[in-house]
DNA sequence: CACGTTGTTCCTTTCACCGGAACGACGGCT
DNA sequence: AGCCGTCGTTCCGGTGAAAGGAACAACGTG
């Protein structure tokens, strides 16, 4: 255990010493079984007590650390729990989805995507690319609106009704959607809810088509899985052929996560 | 979700802006469902891209963040998982122990302690104080050697034999223990292993007495629970009366943690 | 082609922050 | 009682670490 061992000096690639120190303090709190003193942090990291104190105060202000009750020693705080839970939860969803999406990619020979809802829209968080030279690819992490694209629509279709109404209203405003477009969107969402999947053709990208279905955890749609490709291969009829395979995957993933 | 919402400006009490920024980047990674871009971090926190990049590089150098495969976006890294697990594990042991130690305190009217092993000794990590005006209290987080005190002895008694031999040898050297003291210590430890608890009187503090027993998880002693008080009340006979209550608590805690 | 955005690197300037010092509190020892 | 050492916390001055603007190559879109 590391209380009595010096933390090895580690450089940084492109970071700063000050930021390194914050990370090191967090890791020290992690390595210590009980409350850590300001003087202990200072000694371990070879910094002044006042520096150690300041870093700890910043961590406390963000709930990443806290002072142990009845002590002036510091411990990891509630936000550290949330951080770990998030890091684990991200791994859990993507780890569970990866083999299934890879298999779906292999069977369809088209690009498969995992997409998650964020405020105001969605984000693609994983992709498995088609082996074809001409294929559809997306930029992971980039924000996308709800209304254009299969995965956006499927997430919206299976969202809470109140949330859905609000999202449609906001998106109408931000993207200047007319009455006809809104009505068409609502019909699409109704249709999606009946079938459990949605197809799109040329909406986000005029050269692309897609089919998407939701992943549920305890009845809540937490992600979408989609298959997409260039319009030349991804005809509406092709999308309908792919749908059962897709639903099979989303059902297995949903079961695995519950 | 917070990608589209500005992170609220939060001051710090005694910290620094630079350290706050590191914490804020971590929390932003936590709040984002997918990879976060340098430019996204910069926009959210209202800092320059180069600053955001540097903080992220520092976090990556400590495995608190990583770049998503096939993307230049950043995610929480493996050390964040460990951090959360540690924060949770600390909560788990102390959360499980708290009601039992409180109950033991209430029944004995003496101070109860939770103590954990660290390199070279032990650390008190939680205490529930006696309601008496004259009572025993300890400083949480302060390092203590093995050989002086009931909880140190109980942890040593139930440690791996190899570890125990090494610890005794080291402690003999550091604290200049003579042959007689070592022999007496070994007899104490043998006695402790036979009975499952250990009593002490006046060893760490000439005015105090204590009785301690180990907490096991999967056959490994991971902590000690002890009851301690002033010698005037905490006679050896009194310690023997407390021992069954203490063993009851450690057994329930061990069961709860397994 | 032009334009916009991106992540990453470089360089100048400056002020945020490091670290030493001070201080009150506490505990141990004589 | 006094003295000493250690502690966490706060203060303050000097300076160099770091913020931030700029540059740049890469990429995507029209």
Which positions of strand D lie within 7 Å of protein CB atoms? 6-12, 17-23, 29
| Of the candidates B221, B194, B256, the residue with the CA atom closest to the CA atom of residue B116 | B221
Q: Is pLDDT of A65 > 70?
A: yes
**ipTM for the complex shown:** 0.65
Distance of CA B6 to the CA centre of its chain: 36
Q: B127: Cβ–Cβ under 8 A, 6 or more apart, which residues? A: A70, B111, B112, B113, B114, B137, B138, B140
Q: Which CATH number is A17-76's, of 1.20.1250.20, 3.40.605.10, 1.10.10.10, 3.10.129.10?
A: 1.10.10.10
What pLDDT, on a 0 to 100 scale, did the predictor assign at position A244? 95
Residue A39: which nucleotide is closest by CA–C1'?
Answer: D7
Of the two residues A66 and B248, the one the predictor is more confident about is: B248
Q: Is pLDDT of A5 > 80?
A: no
For chain A, the average pLDDT equals: 83
CA of residue B81 to C1' of nucleotide C30, angstroms:
52
Instruction: For residue B123, list chain A residues with Cβ-Cβ distance below 8 A.
Output: 3, 33-35
What pLDDT, on a 0 to 100 scale, did the predictor assign at position A8? 33
A141: left (phi over 0), alpha (psi -120 to 50) or beta: left
Q: Do residues B207 and B231 lie in contact, with contact meaning Cβ atoms separated by under 8 Å?
A: yes
CA of residue A115 to C1' of nucleotide C6, angstroms:
22
3-state secondary structure string across chain B: CCCCCCCCCCCCCCCCHHHHHHHHHHHHHHHCCCCECHHHHHHHHCCCHHHHHHHHHHHHHCCCEEECCCCCCEEECHHHHHHHHHHHHHHHHHHHHHHHHHHHHHHHCCEEEEEEEECCEEEEEEEECCCCCCCCCCCCCCEECCCCCHHHHHHHHCCCHHHHHHHHHHHHHHCCCCHHHHHHHHHHHHHHHHHCCEEEECCCCCCEEEEEEEEEECCEEEEEEEEEEECCCCCHHHHHHHHHHHHHHHHHHHHHHC
What pLDDT, on a 0 to 100 scale, did the predictor assign at position B18? 93
Q: Do residues B197 and B171 lie in contact, with contact meaning Cβ atoms separated by under 8 Å?
A: no
Instruction: For residue A124, list chain B residues with Cβ-Cβ distance below 8 A.
Output: 34
Instruction: For residue B88, list chain A residues with Cβ-Cβ distance below 8 A.
Output: 81, 84-85
> The tokens 């031999």 sit on which residue?
B165
Alpha carbon separation from B126 to A25, A113, A115, B110, B229 (Å, rounded): 22, 48, 44, 14, 16
What pLDDT, on a 0 to 100 scale, did the predictor assign at position A139? 67
Across the interface, whether the CB atoms of B88 and A79 are under 8 A apart is answered: no
Residue in A15, A58, A68 nearest the CB of B54:
A15
Residue in A23, A36, A82 nearest the CB of B62:
A23
**Element containing residue A225 per DSSP (H, E):** strand A220-230
Instruction: For residue B59, list chain A residues with Cβ-Cβ distance below 8 A.
Output: 15, 19, 23
**Dihedral sign, Cα of residue B90, residue B94, residue B95, residue B96:** positive
Residue range A172-198: mean pLDDT, rounded: 88
Banded model confidence at residue A111, pLDDT cuts 50, 70, 90: confident
Of the two residues A240 and B134, the one the predictor is more confident about is: A240
Across the interface, whether the CB atoms of B32 and A143 are under 8 A apart is answered: no
Q: A50: Cβ–Cβ under 8 A, 6 or more apart, which residues? A: none
What pLDDT, on a 0 to 100 scale, did the predictor assign at position A142? 63
Chain B: residue whose CA lies nearest to A63: B23
Ordered per-residue pLDDT tens for chain B, 258 residues: 222 233 333 455 688 999 999 999 999 988 887 788 899 899 889 899 999 999 999 998 888 988 876 677 888 888 887 887 777 777 678 888 989 998 999 999 888 999 888 666 777 878 888 877 667 777 676 667 788 788 889 999 998 887 888 788 878 877 777 888 889 889 999 999 999 999 987 766 666 789 999 999 878 888 999 998 887 788 888 899 999 999 999 999 999 887
Chain A: residue whose CA lies nearest to B28: A83
What residues does each domain of chain A span? Answer: 17-76, 88-257
Alpha carbon separation from B102 to A41, A242, B99, B122, B130 (Å, rounded): 30, 60, 5, 21, 10
How many Å apart are CA B26 and CA B56, to the nearest integer? 9
Domain at A88-257: CATH architecture: 2-Layer Sandwich (3.30)
Strand partners, B191: none
Q: Is pLDDT of A204 > 70?
A: no
Residue in B58, B77, B88 nearest the CB of A12:
B58
CA of residue A21 to C1' of nucleotide C11, angstroms:
25
How many Å apart are CA A227 and CA A125, to the nearest integer? 14
> The tokens 């608590």 sit on which residue?
B249
Least-confidence region, from A145-149, A209-213, B130-134: B130-134
How many Å apart are CA B59 and CA B76, to the nearest integer? 9
Residue range A137-142: mean pLDDT, rounded: 69
Banded model confidence at residue A107, pLDDT cuts 50, 70, 90: very high
What pLDDT, on a 0 to 100 scale, did the predictor assign at position A9? 39
| A6 Cα to chain B: minimum distance (Å) | 12
Residue A141: which nucleotide is closest by CA–C1'?
Answer: C6
Which positions of strand C lie within 7 Å of protein CB atoms? 5-10, 16-22, 28
Detail the protein residues whose CB sits closer than 7 A to any atom belonging to strand D.
A 16-19, 37-40, 49-50, 53-54, 56, 67, 72-73, 205; B 14, 18, 21, 47-51, 54
CA of residue A192 to C1' of nucleotide C23, angstroms:
70
Least-confidence region, from A6-20, A156-170, B1-15: B1-15
Question: Which residue out of A24, A83, A92, A135 would a mutagenesis test of the B interface target, given it has the greatest number of B Cβ atoms within 10 Å?
Answer: A83
Residue range A111-133: mean pLDDT, rounded: 79
Q: How many CB atoms lie within 10 A of CB B230?
A: 17
CA of residue A38 to C1' of nucleotide D13, angstroms:
23
A210: left (phi over 0), alpha (psi -120 to 50) or beta: beta
Q: Is pLDDT of A129 > 90?
A: no
Question: Which residue out of A22, A61, A123, A166 would a mutagenesis test of the B interface target, given it has the greatest number of B Cβ atoms within 10 Å?
Answer: A22
Q: Encode pLDDT of A22-47 as tens digits.
A: 999 999 998 887 788 999 899 889 89
Across the interface, whether the CB atoms of A73 and B27 are under 8 A apart is answered: no
Q: Do residues B254 and B215 lie in contact, with contact meaning Cβ atoms separated by under 8 Å?
A: yes
Of the two residues B3 and A224, the one the predictor is more confident about is: A224
């Amino acid at each position: 255990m590391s209380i009595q061992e010096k933390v090895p000096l580690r450089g940084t690639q492109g970071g700063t010493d000050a930021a390194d120190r914050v990370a090191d303090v967090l890791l020290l709190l992690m390595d210590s079984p009980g409350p850590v003193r300001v003087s202990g942090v200072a000694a371990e990291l070879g910094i002044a007590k006042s520096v150690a104190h300041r870093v700890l105060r910043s961590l406390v202000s963000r709930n990443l650390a806290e002072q142990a009750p009845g002590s002036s020693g510091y411990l990891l705080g509630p936000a550290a729990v949330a951080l770990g839970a998030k890091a684990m939860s991200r791994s859990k969803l993507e780890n569970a989805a990866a083999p299934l999406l890879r298999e779906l990619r292999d069977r369809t020979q088209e690009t498969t995507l995992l997409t998650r809802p964020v405020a105001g829209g969605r984000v693609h968080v994983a992709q498995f690319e088609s082996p074809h030279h001409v294929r559809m690819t997306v930029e992971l992490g980039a924000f996308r609106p709800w209304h254009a694209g299969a995965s956006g629509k499927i997430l919206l279709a299976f969202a809470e009704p109140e949330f859905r109404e609000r999202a449609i209203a906001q998106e109408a405003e931000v993207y200047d959607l007319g009455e006809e477009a809104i009505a068409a969107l609502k019909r699409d969402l109704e249709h999606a809810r009946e079938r459990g999947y949605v197809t799109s053709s040329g909406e986000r990208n005029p050269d692309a088509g897609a089919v998407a279905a939701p992943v549920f955890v305890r009845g809540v749609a937490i992600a979408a899985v989609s298959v997409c490709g260039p319009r030349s291969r991804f005809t509406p009829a092709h999308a309908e052929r792919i749908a059962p395979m897709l639903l099979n995957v989303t059902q297995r993933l949903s079961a695995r996560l519950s």
